Structure 1
Amino acid sequence: MGRIALAGFAVAAADLASLLAGWEAGHPVFKPLLMPLLVAYALTRGAPRLLVAALLFGWGGDLALLFDAEAAFLVGMGSFAVGHVCYLVLFGRRAAHPLLGGAYALALVGTVALLWGDLPADLRVPVAGYSLLLTAMAFRSSALGPRAGLGGALFLLSDTLIATGVADWPQLPRPDFWIMATYLAAQYLLATGVMASGNRAYGRGAALPGEHSER
């Protein structure tokens, strides 16, 4: 395992440990380092530009959500939304199973319907729109294989946990730990799933959608 990967796992472990221990000073220090380290790791493995962009927009969302304000929440949600668009373009036209699409559609409608009345009125439409985009990304990720598909599902779970907090629903103990654990696993699985899929489909070092080939 390379040094960048080791550094990434170490920082992720430190961030999760600080959340689990309730050490509030740790999260603002470790969280901003996580996506840049994943980007650096991805670049060493020839990641396509759209994957790098998706991770960087995720980083923007991470930074915004460090601030406890509604405006920061909206900025963070917007940054993540752009990242999901990058993922969707990157996934291309590969086919995902239609039955899985039906399950995701039911989950989307059910979750938004349950949360709607408990969300702040000015956040209902933005959250619903973001949820539609996120669910589409999660569904389409499954077309790249189980690894990326699991990453998409965990991203949906992580953001659903955030939404239940915004709606002031009862939370698990240490909710920030579970949100970050599922989010970090999601981004790692999506990134590595995209790169593995590109290597299988095009040959190692070849271009994915959104990346031109040098050959």
Structure 2
Amino acid sequence: MNPLRSPWLAAFGVAVVVHLALVLAQAQPWESISKCLIAPLLIAWVIDQGGPRIIAAALFFCLLGDLFLEIDGFFIAGMAAFAIAHGCFVTFFVRHGALASLRRRLWIPAALAVGAVLLLAWVWTGLESGLRVPVLVYALLLSTTAATALSVDLRAGLGALLFLFSDGLIAARIAERVPEDAVAGGFVVMLTYSAALFLLATAAVRLPARPDRTPPADSGTFLQEPVR
């Protein structure tokens, strides 16, 4: 059976749609509850497909991040959970040859580093002093995930870029650099975040189980020569 037709992915899609509708309706506590169903359904799909355990672990820490961010006073704990998740993603892509690929495409980390610096410069003065260092470290991790993912697989790279955009929007909202519209802003954040998790998970599952194998022709490896 096509892995994308799994009941777990169907349930994930339903959960995302329901959550986005609840975000628009501002229906608490159901909005928070539905948010914490998104990552677990992807975890179940990854396990069902025999996918990499480190990706399941990354999604688990995303779940913890989602949970902590819904609790007052646990923002830093939420960031820490997401930071661990990105550490898992980076480790996975490094195991699949990201460093060797990046040495041949230095423009990828260079462009992402410039983007991270520009984002930090934009939001820096609007952040509370206690948030500045954690946001700096987290931005570096986000950029590293994006760079390593892009160097290995295009789908994963797009997912990592969406993750970067989603969390960048959160930072901009916290720093009051974008108009404060909790409904529209929350909708865009969750739409891009959900898409990011989907792309990262599905890309990781279809990559070779052993990093030393050549990726299949349809794996979407970044800048791979087309098969004729």
TMscore range, shorter length: 0.7 to 0.9
For residue 172 of structure 1, report the CA deviation from its aligned partner: 6.9
Mapped to 2, the partners of 1:198 and 1:33 lie a distance apart of: 28
Q: Which runs of 4+ in 1 moved over 3 A?
A: 199-204
The letter for the 2-side match of 1:64 is F
- Please give the residue correspondences for 1:8-27 in structure 2 after superposition, counting only pairs within 5 Å: 8-27=12-31
For residue 91 of structure 1, report the CA deviation from its aligned partner: 0.6
Match of 2:85 in 1: 83
Match of 1:58 in 2: 62
Match of 1:209 in 2: none
CA contact (8 A) 2:173 2:180 kept: no
Match of 1:122 in 2: 130
Structure 1 counterpart SS, 2:11 = helix
For residue 103 of structure 1, report the CA deviation from its aligned partner: 1.1
Mapped to 2, the partners of 1:5 and 1:145 lie a distance apart of: 21
Mapped to 1, the partners of 2:45 and 2:119 lie a distance apart of: 34
Match of 2:192 in 1: 182
Match of 2:219 in 1: none
TM-score w.r.t. the length of structure 1 is: 0.88
For residue 49 of structure 1, report the CA deviation from its aligned partner: 1.1
Match of 1:103 in 2: 111
Q: Which runs of 5+ in 2 are unaligned?
A: 216-228
CA contact (8 A) 2:146 2:160 kept: yes
Match of 2:177 in 1: 169
- Please give the residue correspondences for 1:127-206 in structure 2 after superposition, counting only pairs within 5 Å: 127-171=135-179, 173=181, 174-198=184-208, 202=213
For residue 21 of structure 1, report the CA deviation from its aligned partner: 2.9
Mapped to 1, the partners of 2:210 and 2:21 lie a distance apart of: 35
For residues 12-49 of structure 1, what are the alpha-carbon distances to aligned partners after superposition, in whole Å with 9 as ceiling and x for unaligned?
Answer: 10001111233333311211111110000111111111
For residue 200 of structure 1, report the CA deviation from its aligned partner: 9.3
For residues 84-134 of structure 1, what are the alpha-carbon distances to aligned partners after superposition, in whole Å with 9 as ceiling and x for unaligned?
Answer: 111111112321332122110110111111111110011111111111111
Mapped to 1, the partners of 2:198 and 2:163 lie a distance apart of: 10
Mapped to 2, the partners of 1:159 and 1:135 lie a distance apart of: 11
Aligned length: 202
Mapped to 1, the partners of 2:36 and 2:214 lie a distance apart of: 33
TM-score w.r.t. the length of structure 2 is: 0.83
Q: Which runs of 5+ in 1 are unaligned?
A: 205-215
For residue 199 of structure 1, report the CA deviation from its aligned partner: 5.7
Mapped to 2, the partners of 1:203 and 1:124 lie a distance apart of: 41
Structure 2 counterpart SS, 1:171 = coil
Mapped to 1, the partners of 2:209 and 2:48 lie a distance apart of: 14
CA contact (8 A) 1:11 1:34 kept: yes
For residues 155-193 of structure 1, what are the alpha-carbon distances to aligned partners after superposition, in whole Å with 9 as ceiling and x for unaligned?
Answer: 000000110111122237511111001101001100111
CA contact (8 A) 1:144 1:197 kept: no
- Counting aligned pairs with the same residue, the percent is 36
The letter for the 1-side match of 2:124 is W
Match of 1:207 in 2: none
